[in-house]
Amino acid sequence: MNSDDVPTLSAPTETGYVEWLDGIWSRRLQASRERRPDLSVGILLWPTFPMMSLTGIVEPLRHAADFADNSRPLHCRWSIMGGPGHAVAASCGIRVHADSPYINPTDFDYIVAIGGLLPHLRAASRQHRDYLQVAAAANVPIIGACTGVFVLAQEGLLEGRKASVHPFHAEDFRVAFPRIAFSSRDDFLVDNGRITVPGGVSILSLMTELIRQHCGPDRAAKAVHQLSLTEHKTMSAFDHGRASVFRHVGDTRIQRALVLIESRKGQDVSPEEAARVAGLSPRQFTRLFRQHIGVTPKRFILETRLRYARFLVENGAMSMTEIAFETGFSDSAHLATAFKQKYGHPPTTFR
């Protein structure tokens, strides 16, 4: 199948597959949701996939998805897709079961293909490959993780694009796909609707950046802290030029301040108090915080409060006045002003 073809309906033999493929364009998300998350990822696993690649995707999403140490899939959601009873054995032997049917790809922000050992790349269900073609035709960004880069190349989904390949697989990729440009020195590459990441800790770089883009700096900073990504010099053998600054929070003083702000959801905490917790003067703290996080402590606290306010707006029945008081605003008018500046619309739009 080339990259311009829409998957045919006659080739599959699995019961019900034809009906699935025929209806995929019109089917809505097959899970109960109170609201659409800020970041939603669909995952396809190839046989003998590396467990680290899967956890490298899911764990940052899990930590970014909720406040404090909860793990409710609020801001982020993820689904491992497959047919009924579908399970895949990782390279370590652990079997992982699909938790979702094949969902309309347009309900995801990204589709991730996690490849396995090279000799096993052709062993995946044809449904997986056809689903990638449907997602590509629908212009949903597709991520090739680890040898998932090979899968995308096999499916003609990397034509005219440059890929990021693990140095261990560089020669194999060059021989198999001599016309596709690639690099073995990047944590990840984004090129015209395709994202390629070599695997290992590089996936943490990618996920932190995606969380920052879709969920904001507070979610990215929380994921960084919870995953203890403190020694950025040892995180990857690749070039860190494209990586997010939020995984480089190696200063434990700034980490302590982030934990304080996060634990209080940005409420009843001032930059001065955060500076005291960090053991720094307000001036030193502001300089270091901005250096590591990219915004001032005051702005970070405000964005944390607004994110909590958005959660309350979208997931509860509290009045706007009650939400304003709950999130530290003097009244609903001040909340609405700050909310619109952050999200482009007043809070009532999100209810």
Q: Is the predicted pLDDT of residue 337 greater than 70, yes or no?
A: yes
Residue 305, CA distances (Å) to 55, 98, 302 in order? 29, 35, 5
Give 282-316 pLDDT, tens digit per residue.
Answer: 999 999 999 888 899 999 999 888 988 888 887 76
Q: Which of 147, 146, 179, 148 is nearest to 162 (CA)?
A: 179
Residue 171: what pLDDT? 93
Radius of gyration of the chain from its Cα atoms, rounded to whole angstroms: 22
Which residues are within 8 A (CB) of 125 and not within 5 positions of it... i.e. 6 or more apart? 14, 82, 83, 86
25 to each of 39, 43, 168, 229, 342, how far by Cα in Å?
21, 18, 38, 39, 33
* Region 265-275 average pLDDT: 88
CA angle (209 as vertex; 304, 218 as ends), nearest 5: 10
pLDDT tens column, 140-159: 999 999 999 999 999 999 99
Average pLDDT for the chain: 81
Q: Which of 31, 33, 12, 30 is nearest to 21 (CA)?
A: 12
- The pLDDT assigned to 229 comes to 54
Question: What pLDDT score does 318 carry?
Answer: 83
For residue 28, pLDDT beyond 60: no
More confident of the two residues 137 and 67: 137
Tens of pLDDT, residue by residue over 60-79, are: 999 888 766 667 777 899 99
**Per-residue pLDDT, 184:** 87
For residue 258, the model assigns a pLDDT of 82
Q: Identify the CA nearest to 56 among candidates 70, 41, 69.
A: 41
Q: pLDDT, tens digit, for every residue of 181-234?
A: 999 888 899 999 999 999 888 898 899 889 988 887 777 777 777 776 543 333
Q: What is the pTM for the complete model shown?
A: 0.65
Query: What pLDDT was estimated at residue 246?
Result: 47
The per-residue pLDDT for 220 is 78
The Cα–Cα gap between 150 and 156 comes to: 10
Closest C-alpha to 18, from 132, 104, 127: 127
Which pLDDT score is estimated for 250? Answer: 65
Q: How far is CA 254 from CA 140, 197, 222, 268, in A?
A: 36, 29, 12, 18
Please, which pLDDT band fits residue 243 given cuts at 50, 70 and 90?
Answer: very low
Sorted by sequence, the CB contacts under 8 Å of residue 78 that are 6+ apart come out as 40, 41, 42, 43, 57, 58, 61
